[in-house]
Structure 1
Amino acid sequence: MNKIQILGAMAVVAGVSLVSTEAEAQPILLQRCSADNLDPAQALARIEWARKCALTQRVGSPGAGFDTGIPAANGGGNLIEYVETDSAANPSGKNAFSGPAYGFEVNYANVNTTFLSGATSQNPDPNGFQKWSRPANRARARPLYPTFGTTANLADANNFQLIPSATSCQVLNGGAPAATFYVNGYCEASCYSGDQTVLFEGGEMPILDALNSRREDLVTLSPESTLDNVRLAKNKTYGYTVETRDTTHELFAISTAGGGSLNVTDEHPIINGDGRMVQAKTLKIGDELVRADGSRDPIVGIERVKHFGKVYNIRPVSEDLVSNVLVAQGFLVGSSRFQNDDVGYINRIILYSDVPHIP
C-alpha cells in the first residue's frame, strides 16, 4: 500500500509564521496576530516600512549589498542582497526589522512575505537600493507582515507587543519609542467565514461556535489514510485564528453535484479528486472534491462572493501533514499548516490511491 508522501518542511501557517521554536510561544503568537490584525493593503505597507527601515537604518548604503550569484529574471546582472545584522553576533535580531526566519536578508524577507515563489527580478528603489519583485500573478492575497516584541523569546513573561510607528522607523511601546525590539513572527489573515462547519467528535460545528466554546476534540485524517482508504481519527485543536476587525473578503462559493457547498478564501488548501492539495482559486467546474468517506463529488458551480466580517482558521496539535487534513462542510481540506505553496505542498499529491501490490 502506498502511504501519503511527505515532502519538505513547513515554514508558514495561516495566521502566523513562527520565529520562536518554543511550542508554548505559538498560542501567544496567534493572539498577537489577532490583536495586530492588518488588511492586505495595511500588511503591504508594514512590509515596505520594515524593508525601508532595515535598509536606511541598519544597512546604510546601497553599496553595502552583496552579489548573490543568482541572475535577475529581468536581466542586468545578478540579484543584490542586503543583510541588516550579523546573525553570528546578533542571532536573535536585536533591533532588526527583518526576522531570523529570513536570515536578516532584507530583500529575501521582503519578496517572500509579499509574493509566492516565482522568477525574481530587481530594480533600484527611490533610495538607490536594489529591490526584488516577482510577477503580479504570484502576489500573495494575504501578505505576511512582521509583528514585534520587547524580547526575542515570545514565551517570555516580559515580552510585550510593540507597534511600528506610522511616521518614523521607531517601534513603539505604549506610544513611546522602544529602545529594544525583535521580530517575533509573521502574521497572515485567516480562511473560513464563521458559518462554515468543521468536524469534531460527535459531529460538525460552525467554526465560530467551535471557537467560542473552545472545542478541542478535533477530527482529522489518520496518518495511515490513502485516497482510496480514507480514515478519520481523533485529534486535538492546537489553536484558532480570528481577525479582530470586520473587513471585506472575496470568498469562493463552491457547490457540488451532491448538494454540497464550501465557502473559503481564494488561497484555502483543498484536496481534489486526484489527492492533490490545491488552492481554491485554481478549481474549476468539473473538478472533484473529496468527501470524508473518500467519495468524489464533482463541482457544478463556483461563484466569487463578497463577505464583510471576520474569517477564521483552525490548527491541529499534530505535526504530520496527513493528520492536518480536516473535514469542513463534509469535504477534505488542509488545515492552516498548508496555507502557502512557497513551501512546496500546494499542487503536490498528498493522498495516493490505494494500489494493490502485483507480484
Structure 2
Amino acid sequence: MTRTIWGGIVILAAVVLLPVRAEAQPVLTTRCTIDNLDTNAKAEARVEWARKCGTIQNVGDPNAWYDTGLSAASGGTLKDYLESDPVRNPKGEGAFTGPDYGFKVNNSTVFAVYLSGPTYQQQDSRGYYYWLRDAWRKKGRALYPTFSTTSDITEQNNIQLFPHPNLADCRLYLDKNGTQPSATTFHVNGYCESACYTPEQQVLFSDGYVSILDALNALREDLITLSPDSTLDNLKLQQNRTYSYTREIRDAEHKIFVITTQSGGQLRVTHEHPVIDGEGRMVQAQTLKVGDSLVKADGSLDPIVSIEKTTHYGKVYNLAPVTTDLVSNVLVAQGFLVGSVRFQNDEVGYINRIILYRGMPAEVIP
C-alpha cells in the first residue's frame, strides 16, 4: 500500500485543523502475545504475584517502607517499597517491577490494575502494605509484567521467561508449563497490553498517512484525531499529540479481520479493534458484518462488501493520543474512523456505545 492511497492531502485540505496545546513525549509501551493472559483475573493474579514476590525476595521486611507523603483514602499516608536501587541496579536485575515505575512496588501495582482515583491502603497477611482502589476504577484490560533473561529485549541472547502457570513460587521458567526453571537472573521487559494494527496499516499524521510501524520507529508525535466537538454531521480533524505507542515484544500469530468496502478501501485489524460504524457507534471489528458501513474521514459512509478472517504472524501495533476525551480518541486509519488503544483499555466500557451522534446531546444517547 502507498502512503497516498487515501488521498491524505485532499482530506486534510477539506477539514478544519484545530491546534491542541498539550505537550507530551511519546511513551513506548509494550505487550506480548506469546505470554498472553486472556482475562483480567489472570492479569491481576500476575500483578499480585509480582507484588508478593518483590516484597518477599527483594524488600524482605514489612517495615522497610518509605512514606510517599500522599494521603491514603483509608487514612494516613501511603507507604511504598523500593524493590531495587535505581542507582546501583538501574536495569532491575532480579526485580519483579520494571524500571519505568522506578521499582516502586505498590505504585506499579496500582497503576497496572486501576484507573486514577482515591487510593486505599491495607496490609497483607505478611504485614506488607498494599494499595487498592474502588472496583469500578479497574481498567478494562489490566496490565501485567512480562520477563526475560536480559534487560534489552533486542539482544540476540534474550530468552523469554514465564512464571509458573499456577504462580506456585517466585521462580521464572523457560517454558509456560513451569517444568524448566531458569538458572539465570531475570528482568521485567514491559507490561503487556492490547495492540491492533498490522504493520503496513496507514494512520493519519499532520503530513499525510504513515504506516503504524514507520510512525512507531520514528516516534511520530504529530497525530491527527477528531476534535472533541465533532459529530457525524460535522467532522473536524485536529492536530493532536501521540501519548503512547503499543507493540508486542515478540512475533506471534494473530486473528485478523480484513474488511473491504464498496469504495475499494480495506482495513486489516485484530478482531477486538475498535471501529466507528455507520451509526456513530464504537464497535469491535469482529461484530461487523457485510452491509454495515465504516465511516470515512469526510463523514461519508462506505458500505462493507466483504469480511475475510485470516491470520498475521508477527507483531501488531496501536497508539493513543495525549487527549483523554472519547471523541478525540478517534483516529483515522486507512481513511476510516477507528478508536485508539484507550477504547481497549481504559474506555473498554464504551464499546458498543454511540460516540458520534447526530443532532442530539451525547448524554441522552445510550
TM-score by length of 1: 0.59
Q: 2:184 aligns with which of 179, 186, 204?
A: 179
Q: CA deviation at 1:171?
A: 0.9
Q: CA deviation at 1:115?
A: 0.6
Give the counterpart letter for 1:163 in structure 2: F
- What's the secondary structure of 2:188's corresponding residue? strand
- Name the residue aligned to 1:350: none
In 1, the alpha carbon distance for the partners of 2:273 and 2:202 equals 24
Listed as ranges, the matches of 1:52-201 within 5 Å are 52-75=52-75, 77-165=76-164, 166-174=167-175, 175-190=180-195
- What's the secondary structure of 2:339's corresponding residue? strand
Give the counterpart letter for 2:169 in structure 1: S
Listed as ranges, the matches of 1:42-53 within 5 Å are 42-53=42-53
Q: 1:54 to 1:12 in 2, by over 3 A?
A: same
Give the counterpart letter for 1:333 in structure 2: G
In 2, the alpha carbon distance for the partners of 1:74 and 1:327 equals 45
Q: 2:337 aligns with which of 331, 340, 344?
A: 331
- Name the residue aligned to 1:281: none
- What's the secondary structure of 1:176's corresponding residue? coil
Q: 1:42 to 1:12 in 2, by over 3 A?
A: farther
Gaps of 5+ in 2: 1-16, 207-221, 228-234, 240-244, 256-270, 286-293, 302-310, 348-366
Q: 1:100 to 1:331 in 2, by over 3 A?
A: same
- What's the secondary structure of 2:100's corresponding residue? helix
Equivalent pair of 2:147/2:188 in contact (CA under 8 Å): yes
- What's the secondary structure of 1:64's corresponding residue? coil
Q: 1:122 to 1:110 in 2, by over 3 A?
A: same
Q: CA deviation at 1:119?
A: 1.3
- Name the residue aligned to 2:21: 5
Listed as ranges, the matches of 1:230-269 within 5 Å are 230=237, 256-257=278-279, 262-264=282-284
Q: 1:216 to 1:144 in 2, by over 3 A?
A: same
Equivalent pair of 1:10/1:337 in contact (CA under 8 Å): no
Q: 1:255 to 1:96 in 2, by over 3 A?
A: same
Cα displacement string for residues 20-66 of structure 1 (whole angstroms, at most 9, x for unaligned residues): xxxxxxxxxx5xx1100002221111111100000011101111001
In 2, the alpha carbon distance for the partners of 1:189 and 1:239 equals 8
Cα displacement string for residues 106-163 of structure 1 (whole angstroms, at most 9, x for unaligned residues): 0001100011111111011111111101111110121111110111111110111001
Q: 1:11 to 1:108 in 2, by over 3 A?
A: farther
Instruction: Kindly report the root-mean-square deviation, in angstroms, between the aligned alpha carbons of the 2 structures.
Output: 4.2
In 1, the alpha carbon distance for the partners of 2:140 and 2:117 equals 15
Q: 1:129 to 1:108 in 2, by over 3 A?
A: same
- Name the residue aligned to 2:296: 292
Q: CA deviation at 1:332?
A: 4.5
- What's the secondary structure of 2:63's corresponding residue? helix
Identity of aligned residues (%): 35
TM-score by length of 2: 0.58
Give the counterpart letter for 1:331 in structure 2: L
Equivalent pair of 2:70/2:78 in contact (CA under 8 Å): yes
Give the counterpart letter for 1:170 in structure 2: R
Q: CA deviation at 1:331?
A: 2.0
Q: 1:320 to 1:63 in 2, by over 3 A?
A: closer
